[in-house]
């Protein structure tokens, strides 16, 4: 019998930014995901029977949308989906605050992806049920970070991990969440990007002040034979204000079978996906490639999050 009382709502009703979580709270979520993972492998449970999750995606998604859907259904709950913007009242001019105020009367939690940084935080101010940030522009993607941490913990070693994070570190919201979370685990972080796509300086300043070991380079060769984890990201064409600038950095890094001759035996290669051309298809069958497992781990991790924000046996609506 799964424990119904291990709630997160007592400490964190909404899931907006990984920076709102302590290491202890993150460990609790990862432990919960490990407990629930057998159900993600084709099982079912009634843990969230009678609960409704609303999914509002104002930007495209495959993994986040479907893994939340799968997680909710594996736990016996149901999902209502907002559908396309064109098919909703947003096309008649309804703003996000009103949409959230309305939808929070229909569901026990809301998953929101939105192109504007800060949208999830703003939505939490108008919602009577937990808001789960599924990505806000170039801001944060905390549930991706939790599944990334879960993947590293399962497939490598999380504490003191040596990691290279490669690609679009400026616009990549998965990176902004992940780098901060890794600092809680004493990671050694090597940031590899074109000069134009470095992480925001405020983030590196925060991390340096907290004592995190962090380097920045444009040259992946400097760290490729040293790290335990290589975390690749897509250069996010859609976030470039100037398409010409995108063309100057597109295809900056590409991992092939040839590249793998220079890596540690136990290196793992991760990617939040979708990929464009960062990882050659020939790499998929190598022992280093864990990115499809990583996307699967989105299910148990999101089961953990859903069970912790609304699985504690009390009514989810009505504020706290
Ligand atoms: N990793 C990720 O957020 O993928 P989707 O955009 O497909 O949800």
Which ligand 1 atom is the nearest neighbour of the CA of 67?
A: 8
- Do 150 and 279 fall into the same domain? yes
Q: Is 248 in the pocket of ligand 1 (CB under 6 A)?
A: no
| Average pLDDT for the chain | 90
151-164 burial string, b = 16+ CB within 10 Å, else e? bbbbbbebeebbbb
Within this chain, do residues 120 and 151 fall inside the same structural domain, yes or no?
A: no
- Asked if 216 and 288 sit in the same domain, the reply is yes
**For residues 5-20, average pLDDT:** 70
Distance separating alpha carbons of residues 306 and 283, to the nearest angstrom: 33
Catalytic residue set: 63-64, 92, 113, 141
- Tell which one of 112, 238, 274, 294 to mutate to probe ligand 1, the residue whose CB is within 8 A of the most ligand atoms: 274
CATH number at residue 100: 3.40.50.1370
Q: Average pLDDT in the 8-21 region?
A: 77
Domain shared by 38 and 115, yes or no: yes
Higher pLDDT, 158 or 197: 158
pLDDT band for position 319 (cuts 50, 70, 90): very low
313 and 258 share a domain? no
CA distances from 103 to 107, 114, 123 (A): 7, 15, 11
Same domain, 217 and 274: yes
Does the beta carbon of 22 lie inside 6 Å of ligand 1? no
Q: Are residues 290 and 309 in the same domain?
A: no
Please state the pTM of the whole predicted model.
Answer: 0.91
Is residue 131 domain-shared with residue 247, that is, in the same domain? no
174 to each of 144, 145, 213, 240, 310, how far by Cα in Å? 6, 6, 19, 17, 25
Q: Are residues 79 and 199 in the same domain?
A: no
Quick one: which of 285, 180, 161 has its CA closest to 226?
A: 161
Whether 54 and 81 map to the same domain: the answer is yes
313 CA distance to ligand 1 middle (Å): 30
pLDDT in tens, 268-315: 999 999 998 899 999 999 999 999 999 999 999 999 999 999 865 433
Q: Is 286 in the pocket of ligand 1 (CB under 6 A)?
A: no
Q: 121 or 87, which is more confident?
A: 121
**Whether residue 173 sits in one domain with residue 79:** no
Give the pLDDT of residue 239.
66
Say whether both 97 and 173 belong to one domain: no
- What pLDDT, on the 0 to 100 scale, is given for residue 177? 87
> 69: domain range?
3-138+298-317
Q: What total number of domains does the chain contain?
A: 2
Going by CA atoms, what residue is nearest to atom 5 of ligand 1? 61
Pocket test for ligand 1, best of 56, 58, 62 (most atoms within 8 A of CB): 62
């Amino acid at each position: 019998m799964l424990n119904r009382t291990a709630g997160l709502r007592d400490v964190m009703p909404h899931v907006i930014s990984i920076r709102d979580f302590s290491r202890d709270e993150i460990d609790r979520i990862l432990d919960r995901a490990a407990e629930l993972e057998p159900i993600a492998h084709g099982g079912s449970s009634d843990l969230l029977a009678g609960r409704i999750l609303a999914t509002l995606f104002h930007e495209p998604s495959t993994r986040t949308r479907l893994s939340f859907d799968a997680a909710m259904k594996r736990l016996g709950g149901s999902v209502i989906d907002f559908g396309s913007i064109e098919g909703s009242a947003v096309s008649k001019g309804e703003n996000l605050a009103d949409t959230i105020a309305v939808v929070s009367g229909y569901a026990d939690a809301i998953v929101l992806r939105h192109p504007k940084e800060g949208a999830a935080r703003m939505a939490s101010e108008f919602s009577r049920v937990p808001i789960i940030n599924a990505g806000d522009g170039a801001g944060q993607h905390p549930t991706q970070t939790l599944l990334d941490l879960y993947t590293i913990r399962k497939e490598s070693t999380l504490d003191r991990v040596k990691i290279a994070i490669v690609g679009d570190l400026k616009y990549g919201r998965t990176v902004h969440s992940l780098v901060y979370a890794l600092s809680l685990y004493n990671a050694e972080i090597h940031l590899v990007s074109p000069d134009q796509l470095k992480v925001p300086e405020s983030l590196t300043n925060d991390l340096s002040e907290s004592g995190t070991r962090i380097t920045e380079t444009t040259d992946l060769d400097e760290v490729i034979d040293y790290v335990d984890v290589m975390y690749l990201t897509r250069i996010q064409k859609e976030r470039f204000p100037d398409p010409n600038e995108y063309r100057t950095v597109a295809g900056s890094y590409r991992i092939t079978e040839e590249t793998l001759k220079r890596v540690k035996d136990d290196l793992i290669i991760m990617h939040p996906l979708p990929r464009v051309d960062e990882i050659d298809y020939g790499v998929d069958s190598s022992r280093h490639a864990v990115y499809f497992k990583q996307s699967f781990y989105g299910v148990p991790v999101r089961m953990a999050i859903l069970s912790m924000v609304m699985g504690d046996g009390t009514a989810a609506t009505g504020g706290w």
